[in-house]
Amino acid sequence: MKNLKLILVVLVIVFGSENYYAQDWANLKRFQDENAQLSIPNSGQQRIVFMGNSITEGWIKSRPGFFEGKPYINRGIGGQTTPQMLLRFRQDVIDLKPSAVVILAGINDIAGNTGPSTIEMIKDNLVSMAELAMTNNIKVVLCSVLPAKDFPWRPGLEPAEKVIKLNTLLQSYAEEHHLVYVDYFSAMVDGSNGLREDLGSDGVHPNALGYSIMEPIVEEGIAKALKQN
């Protein structure tokens, strides 16, 4: 009887009182109201959307000054994987009519946040986002995944080499299709292919110093993308 009660409690926690598959898996509601309040960019205004996970979301919290007074729209959601971002890409990027999108994603896929993913599957999702952007005349800034040698929430997965492999694929794709590739990895990696200790306390997420290193790198990439024909 005790085991049955325990199973019931776990089922309620995991699935909730509603049908699990009816939940907002991609968190489409997260930015619905904010998106609705955004007007179409003025003529000559070059809006930039930052699409990503907690690293992007944490950016505006850690370094709000980077976004203030600029046409930068942060659409990062903590914990998200590339299939979730792909599902919300239209409403959170395309429908906002940006001139360019900065895509930083993939580390949570490697961590298996929404299930197992191969490096090719992750790359394919990122390519799909890039293709959606290009089809809608949005310039693409494709970012390297930041270095990580372990996950505090899922230790022992040894992600460092997977990050390097994914970044190699992304850089090759960007070069082949004449897209801007932003290399955060090289500026932030330590001797063990992890995130430098001074740039983040948990080995995955940057601190203010980490973001201060990323900012000029991405702004150079944005400027380059906006100049492309």
pLDDT band at 105 (very low <50, low <70, confident <90, very high): very high
Q: Which amino acid is at 175?
A: E
Cβ contact 173:134 at 8 Å? no
Question: Which two tokens mark 191?
Answer: 């001797």
Q: Which amino acid is at 206?
A: P
Domain limits, the chain: 45-227
Cβ contact 20:73 at 8 Å? no
Helix or strand (DSSP H, E) at 36? helix 32-37
Q: How many CB atoms lie within 10 A of CB 153?
A: 10
Maximum distance among all Cα pairs of the chain, rounded to whole angstroms: 68
Q: Which amino acid is at 41?
A: P
pLDDT band at 229 (very low <50, low <70, confident <90, very high): confident
Contacts of 192 (CB under 8 A, 6+ apart): 149, 160
pTM (two decimals)? 0.90
Question: 3-state SS of the chain: helix, strand, coil percent to 5?
Answer: 50, 10, 40
Mean pLDDT of 153-173: 97
Question: Which two tokens mark 94?
Answer: 């395309």
Residues of the chain above pLDDT 90, percent = 88
pLDDT of residue 141: 98
Distance separating alpha carbons of residues 105 and 129, to the nearest angstrom: 11
Q: Does 101 have pLDDT greater than 60?
A: yes
Q: Which CATH architecture has domain 45-227?
A: 3-Layer(aba) Sandwich (3.40)
Positive or negative, the CA dihedral 197, 203, 206, 208 is: negative
pLDDT band at 42 (very low <50, low <70, confident <90, very high): confident
